[in-house]
Amino acid sequence: MVFCLIAILFPFISAIAILEGVKVQSRVSVNEGADIYVTMDMYGRNGVIPLEMAEGIKKIDGVIKAVPRVISRIYIGSRLAVLLGIPIDEPPSSLSFIKGSIPQRGEIVIGKRMAEDLNMDIGNNLSIGVRVIAIIDHRPYIIKKLYRISGIFDSESSIWTSGLVMMNIDDAISTFEMDGFVTDIAVYVRPGYEVSVSENLQKMNSFFRIQTKDLVKTYVERGFNTKGGIFVALYTVAFALAIPAILVSSGFGLSDRRKEIGILKATGWQTHEVLEMVFFESIILALISAPAAFILSFVWIKLFNGLFIAQIFIAEIGSMPPFPVPSRFMPLPFILSFFFALILTMVGSIYSTWRAAIIPPAEAMR
Partner 1 sequence: MIDTEHRTQNTELRSQDNELIRCDGIWKIYNEAKPHEVRALVDVSFVVEKGSFTIFNGPSGSGKTTLISIIGAIDRPSRGRAYLDGKDITDFSDVTLSLLRRKRIGFVFQNFNLVPRLSAWENVSAPLIPQGIREKDRKYRAMQLLDKIGLSDRVHHAPEELSGGEQQRVAIARALVNNPDIIILDEPTSNIDVEAASLLIDILKGLKAEGKTILISSHDEGLFVNADIIFEIRHGHLAGSWVPLVHR
Contact positions vs partner 1 (CB under 8 A): 252, 256, 259-260, 262-271, 273, 276-277, 358, 360-363, 365
Query: In angstroms, how far is the first alpha carbon of the chain from the final one?
Result: 23
Nearer to partner 1, 209 or 265 (CB): 265
Cβ neighbours of residue 256 under 8 Å, at least 6 residues apart? none
Q: State the nearest-atom distance from the C-beta of 29 to partner 1, in Å.
A: 54
Nearer to partner 1, 146 or 358 (CB): 358
Pairing outcome for strands 140-154 and 107-111: parallel
Q: State the nearest-atom distance from the C-beta of 352 to partner 1, in Å.
A: 17
Q: State the nearest-atom distance from the C-beta of 276 to partner 1, in Å.
A: 8
Q: State the nearest-atom distance from the C-beta of 247 to partner 1, in Å.
A: 20
Q: Answer for the pair 278, 290: CB distance below 8 angstroms, yes or no.
A: no
Nearer to partner 1, 244 or 360 (CB): 360
Nearer to partner 1, 130 or 285 (CB): 285
Distance of CA 7 to the CA centre of its chain: 22
Beta-bridge mates of residue 83: 72, 165
Dihedral (CA of 90, 95, 96, 99) sign:
negative
Q: Answer for the pair 148, 108: CB distance below 8 angstroms, yes or no.
A: yes
Q: State the nearest-atom distance from the C-beta of 360 to partner 1, in Å.
A: 5
Beta-bridge mates of residue 142: 131
Q: State the nearest-atom distance from the C-beta of 284 to partner 1, in Å.
A: 14
Nearer to partner 1, 318 or 360 (CB): 360
Count of Cβ atoms closer than 10 Å to residue 106 Cβ: 14
- Specify the DSSP element, H or E, that contains 175: helix 169-175
Supply angle C-alpha 131, 28, 104, rounded to 5: 50
